[in-house]
């Protein structure tokens, strides 16, 4: 049995644990081969959302770093152990980036599973995932959010998931099932206010100014200014050199809105890397709100992130102004202006409502979240379309444009 351990922590954090894990698995499985990738070998660059691994070099990431060796060992193992560091009540940005770039091991093609869109397998089999994360400083809800997210991630990625629990050199595992996430709580406590001061809107898309998130922000800003907002600044979190300065300024700005795409059922690595730099404010005059968008049409995909965003505001000691989740956003930039009119009008309305009431628009929030899962009729219609190949048309078109269509089923990391 081949077991690969990925130490996604910080220098020295898991050093003793790694040796204990090696001893445990070698003692538990005869002829176990335990491979380690230590903390300094797991520093990889953030996913850019370029989709090269889907339509230019199928199964291979375009970023030239050490990731290819990591993911080759990942897919050729029977078990993988992921050792995470936590910050701000969640796995840190380094660990999140590792999960983001797992997407190269899957196909862009979609099938329907329990009323939700899921990516097809690229490989015939995937390793069982064992996760370990330190719980010091985490409250009960934060621990559940991490566990729920990991169970969901493994479910979508066709793996079984267990939590590795350590106690003085002794180990046991507990299955992390795919369960429903925590429900919203703080959203029922927010109240209208008369907003004042400056507005900062953060674009959390790895595509930066060329993203759907940036286009959404531009429309929100139109609505905010129409409602009388004067001090509005947009910051692209892809500019990581500015993270430290922006984090220092955080407590000085009254209104913060984060707009970003869903990456593996949570925020992208660059967003988490910014969150973990924020210091507790304990000032209710500082407010945070969130707009999470995804290409999946159903909103259930984002519900594993939603409770964390509320918990983050509690941890920072700031006021929570609500979260809006919107699916079906991918392809926004490719549609004609007329096709986007209703959606853009709604984005402007979000801006107006936020400036007028200090809350994310509840009417639109409820409208969007009616599509929690795909209706039975939509599932049936999609199944019929999939028989004709039309559901794969967009991906196949781009594969052909890039001369990669014949390689679409490649398994570049699989050992022969």
Q: Are residues 272 and 229 in the same domain?
A: yes
pLDDT digits (tens, 9 = 90+) for 259-293: 999 999 999 999 999 999 999 998 899 999 999 99
Q: Are residues 143 and 201 in the same domain?
A: no
| Whether this model's pTM surpasses 0.85 | yes
Round to whole Å and give the CA distance between 110 and 251: 42
pLDDT digits (tens, 9 = 90+) for 357-382: 999 999 999 999 999 999 999 999 99
In a domain, 415, yes or no: no
Which residues in 296-310 are b (16+ Cβ under 10 Å) and which e?
Answer: bbbbbbbbbbbbbbb
CB-based contacts of 84, cutoff 8 Å, min separation 6: 8, 9, 91, 92, 95, 131, 132, 133
Radius of gyration of the chain (CA): 22
Q: Are 368 and 343 in contact (CB under 8 A)?
A: no
pLDDT for 296 equals 93
Q: Are residues 249 and 282 in the same domain?
A: yes
pLDDT for 416 equals 59
Round to whole Å and give the CA distance between 353 and 85: 38
Round to whole Å and give the CA distance between 50 and 185: 35
User: 135's torsion region: left (phi>0), alpha (psi -120 to 50) or beta?
Assistant: alpha
In a domain, 233, yes or no: yes
List the domain range (segments joined by +) for residue 166: 2-175
In a domain, 250, yes or no: yes
Helix (H) or strand (E) holding 175: strand 170-175
Report phi then psi at 340, rounded to 5.
Answer: -95, 0
Report phi then psi at 292, rounded to 5.
Answer: -110, 125
In a domain, 383, yes or no: no
pLDDT digits (tens, 9 = 90+) for 51-98: 999 999 999 999 999 899 999 999 999 999 999 999 999 999 999 999
pLDDT for 168 equals 74
Structure tokens that stand for 307 in this block: 């409770």
Q: Are residues 86 and 61 in the same domain?
A: yes
Q: Are residues 40 and 163 in the same domain?
A: yes
Round to whole Å and give the CA distance between 206 and 43: 17
Of 175, 208, 235, the domain-final residue: 175
> Burial level of 334, CB count in 10 A (0-12/13-18/19+)?
exposed
Q: Are residues 161 and 203 in the same domain?
A: no
What's 26's domain CATH number?
3.40.50.360
Q: Are residues 115 and 200 in the same domain?
A: no
């Amino acid at each position: 049995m081949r077991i690969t351990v990925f130490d996604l922590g910080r220098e020295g954090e898991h050093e003793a644990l790694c040796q204990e894990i090696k001893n445990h698995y070698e003692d538990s499985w005869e002829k176990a081969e335990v491979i380690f990738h230590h903390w300094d070998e797991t520093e990889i660059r953030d996913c850019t959302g370029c989709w090269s691994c889907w339509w230019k070099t199928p199964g291979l990431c375009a970023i030239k770093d050490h990731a290819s060796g990591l993911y080759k060992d990942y897919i050729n193992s029977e078990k993988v152990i992921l050792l995470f560091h936590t910050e701000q009540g969640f796995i840190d940005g380094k660990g999140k980036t590792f999960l983001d770039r797992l997407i190269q091991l899957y196909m862009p093609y979609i099938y329907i599973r329990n009323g939700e869109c899921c990516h097809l397998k690229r490989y015939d089999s995937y390793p069982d995932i064992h996760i370990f994360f330190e719980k010091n400083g985490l409250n009960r809800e934060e621990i559940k959010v991490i566990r729920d997210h990991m169970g969901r991630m493994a479910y979508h990625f066709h793996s079984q998931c267990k939590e590795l629990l350590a106690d003085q050199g002794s180990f046991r595992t507990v299955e992390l099932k795919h369960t429903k996430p925590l429900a919203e709580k703080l959203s029922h406590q927010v109240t209208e206010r008369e907003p004042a001061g400056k507005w900062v809107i953060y674009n959390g898309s790895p595509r930066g100014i060329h993203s759907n998130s940036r286009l959404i922000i531009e429309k929100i800003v139109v609505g905010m200014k129409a409602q009388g907002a004067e001090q509005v600044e947009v910051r692209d979190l892809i500019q990581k050199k500015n993270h430290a300065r922006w984090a220092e300024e955080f407590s000085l700005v009254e209104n913060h809105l984060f707009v970003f795409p869903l990456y593996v059922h949570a925020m992208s690595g660059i967003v988490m890397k910014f969150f973990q730099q924020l210091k507790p404010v304990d000032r209710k005059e500082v407010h945070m709100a969130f707009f999470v968008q995804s290409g999946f049409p159903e909103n259930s995909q984002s519900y594993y992130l939603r409770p964390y965003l509320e918990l983050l505001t509690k941890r920072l000691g700031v006021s929570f102004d609500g979260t809006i989740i919107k699916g079906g956003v991918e392809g926004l930039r490719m549609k004609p202006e007329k096709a986007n009119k209703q959606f853009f009008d709604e984005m402007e309305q979000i801006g107006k409502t936020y400036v007028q009431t200090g809350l994310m628009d509840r009417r639109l929030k409820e409208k969007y979240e009616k599509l929690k899962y795909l209706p039975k009729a939509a599932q049936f219609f999609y199944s019929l379309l999939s028989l004709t190949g039309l559901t794969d048309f967009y991906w196949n078109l781009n594969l052909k444009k890039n001369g990669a269509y014949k390689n679409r089923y490649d398994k570049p990391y699989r050992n022969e």
